[in-house]
Amino acid sequence: MLSTRQCVGCNLQGVDLERADLRGVDLSNANLTGADLEKADLSNANLSGANLTNADLEEANLTGANLQNANLTRADLEDANLTNANVTGANFTGADLDGVIGLQR
């Protein structure tokens, strides 16, 4: 995934990607349920349709990311940067949005 910069529809449930460089990676429709993405760089990443239920995205950089129709139910987005992110149709039910930067809903 890190070399090809894509993992479309793949199952990454519960993986530890803390501080990972995922800039521009295509993770559309991926299962990232419970994944640890704390402080990960997901700037300009494609997360459209991804399942991020219960994912840890604390302090993650999601600048310019595509989160269209992503499921972020109960995700921890505390202090994450969502500047210029596309969140159209994204589900933030029960998500921790404390300190989130740039969220335009």
What range defines the domain where residue 20 resides? 1-105
Looking at the structure of the chain, the number of domains it has is 1
- Per-residue pLDDT tens digits for 71-86: 999 999 999 999 999 9
Q: CATH number, domain at 17?
A: 2.160.20.80
Q: What is the pLDDT of residue 26?
A: 97
Cβ neighbours of 7 (radius 10 Å): 19
Please give the pLDDT value at position 1: 55
Buried-exposed string 68-94: b where 16+ CB fall within 10 A, e elsewhere: bbbbbbebbbbbbbbbebbbeebbbee
- What is residue 84's predicted lDDT score, i.e. its pLDDT? 97
Mean pLDDT for the stretch of residues 41-60: 99
Stretch 50-72: mean pLDDT: 99
- By percentage, how much of the chain surpasses pLDDT 90? 90
Q: Closest by alpha carbon to 44, among 69, 16, 25? A: 25
